[in-house]
Structure 1
Amino acid sequence: MFEDEITITLSKPVIIGKGENAITYEEIKLREPTAGEMEKAARADTMVGSAITLIGLVAGIPRSSVEKLSKRDLVAANKFLEGFTEAGQPEEAGQS
């Protein structure tokens, strides 16, 4: 059975800002993306840009924070989110 939510503990915490106003992300919580989130992510110019946008939307964290994730954490998050889509499967046209 496929999990519909996951918490990923980041291999390296992401810190945004400085001093007492700094926000530290040590983990991100992901869930199944909505159609609207997928549409927004699809507008990105690259596959990585699309992944960054989708992770930010689903996790509810700023895109700038997602951009600072390590590759390993980005891959883990993206792999989870891709589990909800059939990547590479052509859409069937003409169905009504």
Structure 2
Amino acid sequence: MNQPDEKTIPLRKPVKLGSGESEVVYDKLPLREPTAGELDKATSTGGSNIGIGITLIHLVSGLPKSAVEKLSQRDFAEANEYLAGFTDDGPTASAT
């Protein structure tokens, strides 16, 4: 199976930023294949694997980094798994 170029993950638990009239709710995570520059920026942060994942999801999805930091573990893991499919270390298609 080939990795789709784009994927939208409906969030199990919407992420809310702000309050009152300025509150913004994110209920889905739009993802796509990362560019080489985005991969470079994410990996050059020098942080942990989680920090790299947060930065890459932020860059690819367009969501504020503070929103990505509030993703549930399952949504974060699903997004990381999708993005890892584009790297040499990520999942590969099985031979048929």
What is the TM-score of this pair, normalised by structure 2?
0.88
Distance 1:63 1:18 in 2: 17
Q: 1:9-48 residue pairs with structure 2 within 5 A? A: 9-44=10-45, 45-48=47-50
Counterpart among 41, 58, 61 of residue 59 in structure 1? 61
Distance 1:2 1:43 in 2: 25
> Moved runs in structure 1, 4+ residues, more than 3 A?
none
Aligned Cα root-mean-square deviation (Å):
1.0
How many residues are matched?
A: 88
Distance 2:18 2:35 in 1: 29
The one-character-per-residue Cα deviations of 1:30-84 (angstroms, maximum 9, x if unpaired) are 0000111101100231000000000000000111100000000000000000000
Instruction: Determine whether 1:71 maps to 2:73.
Output: yes
Larger radius of gyration: 1
SS class of match (2:55)? helix
- Report how far residue 14 of structure 1 moved: 0.0
SS class of match (2:70)? coil
Distance 1:78 1:2 in 2: 13
Distance 2:73 2:11 in 1: 10
The amino acid of 1:48's aligned partner reads: I
- Gaps spanning 5+ residues in structure 2: where? 91-96
- Report how far residue 87 of structure 1 moved: 1.2
The amino acid of 1:28's aligned partner reads: L
